[in-house]
Structures are given as C-alpha cells and as structure tokens.
Amino acid sequence: MAAKSHEEEHHNKAFGWAARDQSGVLSPFQFSRRSTGEKDVRFKVLFCGICHSDLHMAKNEWGMSTYPLVPGHEIVGQVTEVGSKVERFKVGDKVGVGCLVGSCHSCDSCSSNLENYCPDMILTYSAKYHDGTITYGGYSDIMVADEHFVVRIPDNLPLDAAAPLLCAGITVYSPLRFFDLDKPGMHVGVVGLGGLGHVAVKFAKAMGVKVTVISTSPGKKQEALDHLGADSFLVSRDEDGMQAAVGTMDGIIDTVSATHPISPLIGLLKTRGKLVLVGAPVKPLELSVFPLIMGGKIVGGSGIGGMKETQEMIDFAARNNITADIEVISMDYVNTAMERLLKGDVKYRFVIDIGNTLKI
Amino acid sequence: MAKSPEEEHPHKAFGWAAKDTSGILSPFHFSRRDNGVEDVTIKILYCGVCHSDLHAAKNEWGFSRYPMVPGHEIVGLVTKTGSNVMKFKVDDRVGVGVMVNSCKSCEYCHQDLENYCPQMIFTYNAQNHDGTKTYGGYSNTIVVDQHFVVRIPDSMPSDGCAPLLCAGITVYSPMKYYGMTEPGKHLGIVGLGGLGHVAVKIGKAFGLKVTVISSSSRKEREALDRLGADSFLVSNDPAKMKAAFGTMDYIIDTVSAVHALAPFLSLLKTNGKLVTLGLPEKPLELPIFPLVLGRKLVGGSDVGGMKETQEMLDFCAKHNIAADVEVIQMDQINTAMERLAKSDVRYRFVIDVANSLAQSQL
C-alpha cells in the first residue's frame, strides 16, 4: 500500500510553501498537521522570520534536508486550541516556536533545560518527529507543537519584530550569559552585522556591556553606532584599527558563517578572553595555538538555547524593548527575499506576513 | 662596547649553553648579578629538561638568542638572601620555574597571574630590566627575586620535584581554572610524556576518572599499572575512538606536534572542554560544527602564577606526587636532547647539576 500523501498523513489540512529540491526554490504546498494532542498547542501562524539557516536547508547545503521542505523556525501566532493537559497557554494567547519541537526529556541535557543539546532533539522542520513523520516549519498557516516547546510573547512586543528572536535572539543571548559576557563594564565584540549580529548588539547594550562591532563593510558604521547603539566600529581589514584594539575585549560573539580567519579576533581578546562562534562555517578554521596559550584564551561555540532560556530571553527583550530590525514581506516574495538574503541585502531580517499574505 | 657574558655581572657563573640553531649545548662561562635586597641566590642542585628547552635551543619558535642557557625546572639551596627577604633563609630548599620577574603593578600581577603580565620575564632567553639576557638552570647558580622563588616541601625529593616547576604547574593551573576538579568526572589526557604523566597523577589525586589517549599501545601497561590511569585509548584505532565518543568531560592535550583536533573534540561530552598545552610550530585545524552543536570549547593555558605554583607543590606533597625522572649528568645533555626529540624518556630527564656540572668544566 502506498505511503500516505502529505495531505493525508495527518488529520487536519494545512497549507504552506515548500522547497521541492536542492534549487531551494519555494512554492505552494498542501500538507497536513496532526490533531491537537493532550499536550499540544495549536496556533494560527501570523508571522515567520527568514533565518539564514532556512536558505542553507532549502538548498541542502548541510546534507540533511528532506524534501518537500517547509522552512521556518522563527514562528509567532495566536493560539486557537490547546490539549487537555496544557497548563501554560489558552486560546487567544500570543505564542512562538523556535528551532525545536521535541527532545527526549530524560537525558542529562534535557534535565538541565538544555533541550538544544539533547542527542535526540527534533528540529522544527525537515526532521523526524516521534510519530515517524517529517516536521514542517513556519512558512505555513498553522502550527501544532508540544507545550514544552512553545513560548509566550509578552503583550508589549510587536509580533512581527519579535519573530526573529526565536532563533537569532536565543542564538546570541545564550552565549552572552553562558560565557559570562553580560556584566556591566565588560567589552564585547560582535563580528558580522546581520540577523544575529544586530540582535547581539542590542542585547549586549541592554546588559550594560560596551560593544564594538567588527565588520568587513565600512558602510555599516553609521548604522551600528547611531541606530543600534554600538560604542565603536572596527573594519576587520583596517590593520591600524585592529592593532589598536589588540587585547581590549573580554569576549567576542562571532556570527559569521563563511570561512574566515579567527587569529586576528583572538588577538583582540584580553588575557583569558573568549571567542564564541555562533555561525557555523562548514570547513575547519585555522587555529594558531601560541596566542591561545600565551593568553590563556578560549575558542568556544554555542547553538541556540534551551526552552527555559528562550522564554527568559523573550522576557528580557520585552523588559528592554528589544526586537529585531525587520523587512516585512508577502509570502510570494519569499524566493526574491532568499536571493537578497544570499547577498546580505537586508536590514536585518525578512519576516513573512503569513497571516495576511499566505493564501491558498 | 657590550660586555661579554663573563663580565656583564659581578659574580662568575658556569653552565652549558646552546650557541646556535643546531641546539647543541657546550660549556659556557658567564656571570650573575649581585644579590639585591629582594633577591635570593641559589646553588642549583637539579634542573629538569623541559621539551621547551629543546624547542628554544634550536630556535624552533623563531625568537631564540644565543648563547642560550636553558632550564626552567630548577631546584636548589639558598646561599644568600637580600635584606628584604623574610620568606627564605640560607640552606632552604627552593625552586624556580618559568619566570623570574614581572611588572608587579598590572591587573594580572595583582591577581597573582604573573604568567599573564605583559612584562613578564622568562627564566632564560629573555631580557632583564637592565638589558642583559636571562640565563636558565643548566648552570651552577642563579639569582632570583624572592617573589619568583617557591619553597620545596620537605617530603618531596629534589630530583622528582624539579619537573613540577614547569610541567606540574602547566597542567595544574588549567585543571583548576577550567574546573577539572570534580570527583567522578572523566578526564582524557592526550600524550604520555613530561606533561601527560604528571597530569595523570594530579587528575587521580582530584578524584577524576582518567583515560590516557596515545597514538600507540606501547605505553598502555605503564599508564594503567604504574601511573594509575583508569583506561587507555589508542587514538589510531577508529573503532575504539568511536566507542569513546561523547564520554569525556575534559581533555588535556599535551601534544606539541601538529595534529588533528577533530577526533578529540568528538570524545568530549556536551559542554566539554579541551585544553591545549603543546606549542606546535604551525596552526592547527579547528572544526567549528562540533563546538556549536555541543557547546564545546578549546582553551589554552600558560604555566601559572607564583601563588598557584606554590599551591601546586603543596598539593603534590600532600598526595605524594613527583615526576618520574631519569637523572643524567651534565655532559650527557646532548644525548638526552636527541632522545627527548624521539620521546625516549620516562618521563623527564633531570640534570644532576650539583654532582656533574663542575666536573664538566674539566
């Protein structure tokens, strides 16, 4: 007997846009979502951020994509139904879902609120769910997710600008806290001024940290200083500027996912400073060991964050009026947006107005 | 005209020095400064042969100045103390490690992190404040600021204690800093040489489970039976390595040759830490995905401050930890260096300076 079609796999019809192959081009896609289980929260999707990962995955650049692939893991919306055992949400609540929709709930990572490091964690899209079906992301009209993986969006945050926090936000918030780069008076560098970088600047400033943006584009200087509130701006190709900044930073959050030299960044760190990579270059980078040893320095990585911390991050953003800088687009603009994203032509996140523009 | 090494200071001294990048050592007459108010003069009894001595003697790092008297694992007896010196008296048994001075006024010096002071002065191959060169412990005597001298606990053997002054603090400091002291946690040690074997002993004293990771099975029995490691992993055995993936809380990597980090990163659990202590001549390749997906980190560490060095010695005395040494005569140093280059030593050569240096003049 043939496997069920995407439309018949689950109980309730759903509609979205999916990539069908490695071209990464998205087009309308009819599929289905499961019924609302006893621990599930069902919500109408209003907005979904476009993360650069969506582009990598749509084109199978990491070799782990399953087609048809409905991207989207910066999802916000309004609750339409909750399961009988759901305690934290009710119909009408404004909620969000990020990069994860499942984990094992029993390993050391899950027990420490680090579902993102669970070996069996389930990604919001293109991953295998507990019932064996493939997960579909937020470029769609409806989401159903286990309550554990849903966060509340406080009323004072505009939904469209809050959406990117669900991936970009937690991705930079988590390492600022974990690596202790959040103490007033510290000096932190942020490499790359894109979706991740611009949110990192805002969070770090709200934590009382002095921020230097490090970028290859001199053109972003005024933005960084005047609009985002960075304290200074370094062009990474400016040898004199880089030399003057040697040994001045407690830490650096490096958001760049292309291959790039990290030795100059390690040089910017103070003794025992920390370079934390949150972008994921596919090829290994060159590590000069002498400076690492002579300065007792660290190179680390961090990937998103657990659910407890994601809620904490959203609440921190709400208290400090932090949202992403976005360009709202209609669903049918998504392929053009992907092309522009590839060239870094966005300030600083596209957000799809699903509620108003996703139409069958 | 610059003074010769013999004339630049008032007190004659004798040692063995490398004269060029061949790294071959030979007798060398030089001089030591007067014992100042803060100084301690030490008659050297033993000096450990650190792999760094070999790298430096051959200018492998590119900043060697000749003639060079290596040696920064020094144990000896106090023969003179300056008027401000209260901590030591004549005949005390003391040690000197990798540093002989620092600025004493920066934030690092104030935090007992003299090793990270930008003006820290190395025991050899560095420049003193007066412009003269520092000469190390392959010599009969040394004059050092009291702040950079440590007391050797009474219970420790002089020869087995000497290597702790570099190898010991080099592994102890990061073990403390990176929190590798929780009993029951799992520490992997890559490389079983001077640093590695001391790390096994200190790791066991902290109550850790210790796995030695080595490229050959040659050292397995040693590691398990004599050094007390809990297990042994051959890094060239892919199946055994795979079985150990995600099992270690920390790894200390003592290998100074260029080598792959990726297999060792795979051995770490989530939030695992790899501390690299060897100083390869070329950069290593660092894969980023494992760091991001597992929140892992790679850190470096450079010896330790003076307070921590004394703490390390006291800790080792309490746990009866000394280095495993092969004592040699001064005139055997070049052969020892050749053997060291081939890792043919269990696990540190120590020069019996007091009993063999003078004779080597003849």
Q: What is the pLDDT of residue B362?
A: 58
Contacts with A188 (C-beta within 8 Å, 6 or more apart), sequence order: A176, A181, A204, A209, A210, A211, A212, A249, A250, A251, A252, A253
Inform me whether the C-beta atom of residue A109 falls under 8 Å from chain B C-beta atoms. Answer: yes
- Give the rounded distance of the alpha carbon of B124 from its chain centre: 13
Q: What is the pLDDT of residue B182?
A: 95
Query: Using a CB-CB distance cutoff of 8 angstroms, which residues of chain A are in contact with residue B293?
Result: 117, 301, 303
Mark yes or no for CB contact A109/B296 under 8 Å.
no
What residues in chain B have their Cβ under 8 A from chain A's Cβ atoms? 61, 108, 113, 116, 177, 246, 261-262, 270-271, 276-280, 283-302
Taking only the tens place, the pLDDT of each residue in A204-229 is 999 999 999 999 989 999 999 999 99
Taking only the tens place, the pLDDT of each residue in A319-345 is 999 999 999 999 999 999 999 999 989
Burial class of residue B8 (count of CB atoms within 10 Å of its CB; 0-12, 13-18, 19+): middle
Inform me whether the C-beta atom of residue A259 falls under 8 Å from chain B C-beta atoms. Answer: no
Q: What is the pLDDT of residue B129?
A: 85
Question: Which one is predicted more confidently, A62 or B150?
Answer: B150
Mark yes or no for CB contact B278/A109 under 8 Å.
no
b/e sequence B217-246, b meaning 16+ C-beta within 10 Å: eebbebbeeebebbbbbbbeeeeebeebee
Q: What is the DSSP string of A9-34?
A: SSSEEEEEEEE-STT--EEEEEEEE-
Q: Which helix (H) or strand (E) segment is B252 a member of? A: strand B248-253
> What is the β-pairing status of strands B268-276 and B297-300?
parallel
Q: Is the ipTM of this complex over 0.85?
A: yes
Inform me whether the C-beta atom of residue A284 falls under 8 Å from chain B C-beta atoms. Answer: yes
Inform me whether the C-beta atom of residue A53 falls under 8 Å from chain B C-beta atoms. Answer: no
Q: Which helix (H) or strand (E) segment is A313 a member of? A: helix A307-319
Taking only the tens place, the pLDDT of each residue in B166-182 is 999 999 999 999 999 99
Residue A243 pLDDT class (50, 70, 90 cuts): very high
Ranges of residues in chain B with a pLDDT under 50 are none
Query: Using a CB-CB distance cutoff of 8 angstroms, which residues of chain B are in contact with residue A267?
Result: none
Mark yes or no for CB contact B177/A296 under 8 Å.
yes
Candidates A282, A292, A304, A309: best to mutate against B (most CBs of B within 10 A) is: A292
Tokens of B101: 């001075």
CB pairs under 8 A between A and B: 106
CB A277 within 8 A of CB A254: yes
pTM score of the predicted model:
0.94
- E-assigned strand segments in chain A: 12-19, 26-33, 40-49, 75-82, 94-97, 100-102, 122-123, 142-146, 151-152, 187-191, 210-215, 232-235, 249-254, 269-277, 285-287, 298-301, 326-329, 349-352
Query: Using a CB-CB distance cutoff of 8 angstroms, which residues of chain A are in contact with residue B301?
Result: 293, 296
Taking only the tens place, the pLDDT of each residue in B91-145 is 999 999 999 999 999 999 999 999 999 999 999 999 988 889 999 999 999 999 9
Tokens of A216: 């290859």
Candidates B108, B282, B292: best to mutate against A (most CBs of A within 10 A) is: B292
Inform me whether the C-beta atom of residue A241 falls under 8 Å from chain B C-beta atoms. Answer: no
> Across all residues in chain A, what is the average pLDDT?
96
Candidates B122, B268, B291, B293: best to mutate against A (most CBs of A within 10 A) is: B291
Q: What is the pLDDT of residue A176?
A: 98
Q: What is the pLDDT of residue A360?
A: 79
CB A36 within 8 A of CB A83: yes
Taking only the tens place, the pLDDT of each residue in A37-52 is 999 999 999 999 999 9
Mark yes or no for CB contact A300/B298 under 8 Å.
yes
Mark yes or no for CB contact B297/A299 under 8 Å.
yes
Mark yes or no for CB contact B291/A299 under 8 Å.
yes
Residue A7 pLDDT class (50, 70, 90 cuts): confident
